[in-house]
């Protein structure tokens, strides 16, 4: 059923009745959507509209062609991870409606990291949904001010956006629960100081998979920033990469940018959607790019 998102969507009704604990408050729409890989072909802009796509069981991609926003549904309300750019908030809400869910049933807004391409839409989504914004303490000031953390390597690269009030602080390893659905926060500092990954299990017809929304692990910075000058910043990035690499139960990897993990290709069936090695592969690629960056800085 993972071969094509259209095929997957056609099976949504079956999937949800087979896993009552994880089903939505409404039955998902029976409407078929153009496969997201095709709809976004040649378009990867952060605000380029994308159709919604079914990922697995109660998990749906509702973001744009360039940015993942993830809906995890339960009969008692939903989680929404990431809001893309400010202009995308209404697109994301419409995707939720197009799936047959009510944005007002979103109870928790979560974030991967406090850069505007993933957090800029959260203020608008909070207005639309009325949901509670939950974040790690390290991300709070940046999210609320619409800027970045003072230690962020990308400081100075972004114009401020509308901030979103953080209603609840979550720490590494703590969980959030709606009904029977439990999400665990994984502190993932490195790409940004407040980076957070999320992991949970979603079940379809009794088949439960471990899903990881792993934060960006890339060492990206303003032009005048050298990671090698900041060993205190490199250390947590390395620790986060090691942590993600150690997730042996990582059946489905999802990343903030679809391209970071070939997400649309995997939703399209070009690559396997379910691959227990996906977290370790993602971490290995990120570590190689970090070492490459450090080597380049040393050569200067």
Enzyme catalytic residues:
113, 115, 117-118, 191, 225, 257
Tell me the three state secondary structure of residue 76. coil
Cβ nearer to Zn ion, comparing 216 with 278: 216
The terminus-to-terminus CA distance of the chain in angstroms comes to 50
Cβ nearer to Zn ion, comparing 115 with 293: 115
Q: At closest approach, how far in Å is the CB of 79 from Zn ion?
A: 21
Only segment of 4-12, 92-100, 113-121, 182-190 that touches Zn ion (CB under 5 A)? 113-121
Only segment of 19-27, 46-54, 108-116, 196-204 that touches Zn ion (CB under 5 A)? 108-116
The rounded Cα 24 to chain-centroid distance in angstroms is 19
Only segment of 24-32, 112-120, 180-188, 268-276 that touches Zn ion (CB under 5 A)? 112-120
Rounded Cα distance between 181 and 174, Å, is 14
Cβ nearer to Zn ion, comparing 75 with 120: 120
Beta partners for 210?
Answer: 201
Instruction: Kindly give the interhelix angle for 278-299 and 231-245, rounded to the nearest 10 degrees.
Output: 160
Cβ nearer to Zn ion, comparing 107 with 191: 191
Q: At closest approach, how far in Å is the CB of 34 from Zn ion?
A: 28
Pick one of 54, 107, 115, 199: the residue that binds Zn ion (CB under 5 A).
115
Identify the residue whose tokens are 């509702």: 62
Q: At closest approach, how far in Å is the CB of 217 from Zn ion?
A: 10
Q: At closest approach, how far in Å is the CB of 260 from Zn ion?
A: 10
Q: Rule CB under 5 A: is residue 149 a binding residue for Zn ion?
A: no
Q: At closest approach, how far in Å is the CB of 98 from Zn ion?
A: 27
Rounded Cα distance between 260 and 163, Å, is 26
Site pattern 257..296 for Zn ion (x: CB under 5 A): ----------------------------------------
Cβ nearer to Zn ion, comparing 97 with 155: 155
Which chain residues interact with Zn ion by CB under 5 A?
Answer: 115
């Amino acid at each position: 059923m993972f071969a094509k998102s259209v095929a997957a969507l056609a099976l949504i009704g079956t999937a949800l009745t087979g896993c009552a604990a994880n089903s939505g408050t409404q039955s998902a729409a029976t409407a078929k959507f153009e496969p997201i890989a095709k709809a976004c072909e040649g378009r990867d802009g952060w605000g380029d509209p994308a159709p919604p796509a079914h990922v697995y069981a109660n998990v749906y991609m509702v973001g744009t062609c360039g940015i993942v926003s993830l809906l995890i549904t339960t009969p008692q309300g939903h989680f929404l991870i990431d809001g893309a750019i400010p202009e995308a908030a209404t697109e994301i809400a419409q995707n939720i409606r197009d799936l047959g869910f009510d944005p007002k049933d979103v109870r928790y807004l979560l974030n991967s990291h406090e850069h505007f391409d993933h957090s800029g839409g959260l203020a608008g989504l909070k207005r639309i949904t009325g949901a509670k914004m939950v974040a790690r303490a390290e991300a709070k000031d940046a999210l609320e001010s619409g800027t970045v953390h003072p230690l962020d390597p990308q400081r100075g690269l972004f114009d401020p956006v509308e901030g979103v009030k953080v209603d609840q602080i979550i720490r590494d390893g703590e969980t959030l629960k709606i009904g029977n659905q439990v999400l665990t926060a994984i502190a993932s500092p490195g790409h940004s100081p407040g980076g957070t990954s999320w992991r949970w299990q979603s079940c379809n017809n009794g088949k439960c998979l471990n899903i990881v929304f792993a934060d960006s692990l890339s060492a990206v910075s303003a032009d005048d920033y050298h990671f090698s000058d900041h060993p205190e910043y490199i250390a947590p990035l390395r620790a986060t990469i090691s942590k993600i690499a150690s997730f042996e139960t990582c059946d489905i990897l999802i990343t903030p940018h679809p391209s970071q993990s070939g997400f649309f290709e995997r939703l399209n069936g070009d690559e396997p959607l379910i691959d227990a090695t996906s977290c370790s592969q993602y971490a290995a690629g990120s570590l190689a790019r970090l070492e490459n960056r450090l080597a380049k800085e040393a050569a200067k």
